[in-house]
Structure 1
Amino acid sequence: MLVTTTITGARLFDGERLTALTAVRMEGGRITAIGDATLLRPGDKHVDARGGTLLPGLIDAHVHLLPGAPRQALTFGVTTVLDMFSKPDTVADALAAGPDCADVRSSSIGATAPGGHPSLMYAPFPTVTGPGDAERFVADRIAEGAAHLKVLYDDGRGGPMPMPSLDVPTIAALTEAAHAAGLVVAAHVSTARAAVDLLRTGVDVLAHVPFDALSAHQVDAIAAAGVAVIATLSIADGFPGGSLLDEPALVSRLGPAWCAVLERQAQRWLPPQLPDFAAARDNARRLHEAGVLVLAGTDAPNPGTVHGASLHRELGHLVAAGLTPAAALTAATARPADVFGLADRGRIRPGLRADLVLVAGRPDEDITATRRVSAVWKQGVRADLAGYVGSADEQAGLAALRAQTEKVIAAVRARLGGPTAAVGGEAG
């Protein structure tokens, strides 16, 4: 027997704007109607949302999977995650996860050069040596369940050590093969030069705003190319200046184990020259003002970030960078759905998936209101917001992160020498 749920009395942000509507009716995993209190029928499961704002399920446009991460993400209102590099077994487990988890779209293994980023974290995995490898690489990723392609263009100039990188012709060949297969291509870059280098390859998305300042000409070139940019400003939370632990509304649901992880990460060794996050924020603002589609993504589980929780910090970073609260909300709902071809979500409209988040307050006016999640529905089923903490999923995720961190530390020590190493370098 299908259960019909009707939510009334809400402020309704439809993915692009606040509407005058106040009610949503859902059945069979889909939104069947939007309107006012007259949608409520005898026998409906009724949710009185007075004082709250109803949003489309949030989309994190840049994560790297851990075991149990989709379940953790859902408890914070993130109903879809876009994975940008994970090993096939981790992806398969995430795709097979139950209804109490965020929906996953993955690139599986990203395309990088032998020994290139992020080999320190994930090796061994298949790599690309030149344009001739492109068609086979893309076909193999599709066979693993990939929904988009990730390519990595990073020679280490934006970080502490040099590394091999794909060249522009190889990325152009990968992009051509991916587009022929109907896949969106997201390209990891960390510098302004790298971002502009790839515009002629036809990539669809730049994963990360550059950490160095874009020139006016470079901003114009990115806007003219029509690429979207995933901001990942949350990477800053792994460095001095701000932390998830500063957010009481999020900390109360993180649980003691993840809070302890964040506390340890805050004490890790850091290189003397830190990324210029002021430049990254300014780049995000200028790109948005130039008409570039800026998407919200966290790059979790990089140091200082946690699946689900960090998307709320990301929204705050976007507003601090200069986006309006409404534009930040769109960057985590309608825009990533559009860019990645997820036509069934990202908005509150009849016929779309009943992926919804109810938050206390007015996030279109004060973005911090998203942190006060009251209820989450994935395909019309209300999520258990307390079930992840202390679960086997949580333990599996913590163990995987610990093993991943130890692997990176050992690899960095071997490459650089000496006792110091950054804990859990950027995953991409």
Structure 2
Amino acid sequence: MAFTILHTRLADRGAALPADCLRVANGRITAIGGPEITQPGDTVVDGSGTTLLPGLIDAHIHLAPGCTQLAATYGVTTQLDQFSMPEVIDQETPRSSFFTSSIGATAPGGHPTIAFPPIPYVTGPDDAKRFVADRVAEGADHLKLIYDDGSGAGLSLPTLDSRTVQALAGEAHTHGLTVVAHVSTAAAAVTVVECGVDVLAHVPSDLMSPEDIEAVADVAVIATLSVLADGFNGPSGHLPLLDEPELMARMPALWQDLLDQQSRRWMPPVPPDGTAARANTLALHRAGVRVLAGTDAPNPGLVFGASLHRELVELVRAGLTPAEAVVAATSAPAEVFGLADRGRLTVGARADLLLVEGNPLADITATQRIRQTWAGGEPVRPEEYAGSEQELAGIRFLGETTDRILAAVNEMLPQPRPT
């Protein structure tokens, strides 16, 4: 399929290009310039009043069946999976639309054990070589490890020690893998950076000191601000995503029903306060840390694709400019994870494209006003996902996962003694 988009704002690395037309053929961008780049036989798309972005990249999700198709309807054409089972990875297609860590490295019984079937654990530094080799054999594109003792949430969980984190990072680097570390506190972030990790998964939820910021200034961070912002009911009495009309207009009915059900689950009297996480995000950004947009979907309140647009809003709320937020979901994650063929509007890049009404470089909510998306040069058709077996399989998978988590939590809670 060959087509040319005319008279649109071309946004690359957070800036508008001087050209206003872009041509695609055979799944790749073949020319950028004026109307003269149009070739005989091209389908012509009038982009007047629009902005063309590279397909968005969500740097933190966990795979579910059909999630790549759902995400693409929102212009999120690449997802970085940060812990999934091989059997889930193997059934998700197309493989070019996601990259995975496969199973993450965690201590026996550590986070997030309760969300998964039995997994291989890491008991110490001596396990690092075999663990990483097994992930490479499963097709892992990067390594995920967990360094979280639960203290950030008032819990006590087993976790890896620093020597093991260092061994895992070193072994992963010998295989050319980027190393992502799940942390929840400032102290944990400093420790894992000292151990050699490349990317922090989650901005710490406690306020980082200037010394903490300086200690982690050489890595990237996946913000995931929407976990707190969108995972709990807002002023309207339900989950915030339900209050986004442009996003909900593209939301399949089953996912709307799921959000409604999640809105009616137990909620704390006062929602978590994301003030410290937002302040940390801005401080890290100002210190030169590459901030990446990620959602941690499908946590409650988060939907593949749709929630990345909400994450961009949260990044701007934290203090990034709209243009900087766009970079966090396009060129920045592509560069950090070595995805050289995407995240940019350049000749030769994959034609993963998002065409939106308005100018998201000035108004970040414009990313939600989607006119058309393409994945690998092919138009994305939302109607092909809604009601499909892929959608049904994804909803079933989430239900099974939720049931497994609830059962594990019930086992952990004190049981009443018989009378």
Category of TM-score, reference length = shorter chain: over 0.9
CA displacement at 1:268 relative to structure 2: 1.7
Q: What is the CA deviation profile of residues 83-127 of structure 1, one whole-angstrom value per residue up to 9, with x for unaligned ones?
A: 000000111112xx14xx870100000000010001010130111
2:222 counterpart of 1:230: yes
Q: Secondary structure at the match of 1:327?
A: helix
> Structure 2: which 5+ runs fail to align?
none
User: Letter of the aligned partner of 1:307 in structure 2?
Assistant: F
CA displacement at 1:310 relative to structure 2: 0.3
CA displacement at 1:353 relative to structure 2: 0.9
CA displacement at 1:261 relative to structure 2: 1.1
Q: Whole-Å Cα distance in 1 between the matches of residues 126 and 269 of structure 2?
A: 40
Q: Specify the alignment match of 1:301 in structure 2.
A: 298
2:203 corresponds, among 209, 212, 221, to 209
User: Letter of the aligned partner of 2:49 in structure 1?
Assistant: G
Residues 212 and 276, structure 1, Cα contact 8 Å, conserved in 2: no
Q: Specify the alignment match of 1:153 in structure 2.
A: 147
Residues 225 and 315, structure 2, Cα contact 8 Å, conserved in 1: yes
Q: Specify the alignment match of 2:288 in structure 1.
A: 291
Q: Secondary structure at the match of 1:405?
A: helix
Q: Secondary structure at the match of 2:356?
A: strand
User: Letter of the aligned partner of 1:356 in structure 2?
Assistant: L
Q: Specify the alignment match of 1:394 in structure 2.
A: 391
User: Letter of the aligned partner of 2:72 in structure 1?
Assistant: L
Q: Specify the alignment match of 2:173 in structure 1.
A: 179
2:65 counterpart of 1:67: yes
Cα–Cα, structure 1 residues 408 and 273, in superposed 2: closer, same or farther, change >3 Å?
Answer: farther
Residues 233 and 271, structure 2, Cα contact 8 Å, conserved in 1: no
Q: Whole-Å Cα distance in 2 between the matches of residues 276 and 397 of structure 1?
A: 30
Q: Secondary structure at the match of 2:153?
A: coil
* 4+ residue runs over 4 A deviation: 271-274
Structure 1 stretch displaced more, 385-394 or 201-210: 385-394
TM-score of the two chains, using structure 1 as the length reference: 0.93
Q: Whole-Å Cα distance in 2 between the matches of residues 185 and 271 of structure 1?
A: 34
The within-5 A match list for 1:327-406 is 327-406=324-403
Alignment coverage as a number of residue pairs: 411
Residues 26 and 354, structure 1, Cα contact 8 Å, conserved in 2: yes
Q: Secondary structure at the match of 2:299?
A: coil
Structure 1 stretch displaced more, 44-53 or 170-179: 44-53
Q: Specify the alignment match of 1:130 in structure 2.
A: 124
2:163 counterpart of 1:191: no
Q: Specify the alignment match of 2:10 in structure 1.
A: 12
Q: What is the CA deviation profile of residues 278-334 of structure 1, one whole-angstrom value per residue up to 9, with x for unaligned ones?
A: 111111111111111000000000011000000000000000110000000000000
Q: Whole-Å Cα distance in 1 between the matches of residues 408 and 297 of structure 2?
A: 20
TM-score of the two chains, using structure 2 as the length reference: 0.95
Q: Whole-Å Cα distance in 1 between the matches of residues 13 and 358 of structure 2?
A: 16
Q: What is the CA deviation profile of residues 212-248 of structure 1, one whole-angstrom value per residue up to 9, with x for unaligned ones?
A: 111111112111xx10000001102011336110100
2:232 counterpart of 1:239: yes
Q: Whole-Å Cα distance in 1 between the matches of residues 376 and 386 of structure 2?
A: 22
2:47 corresponds, among 46, 49, 74, to 49
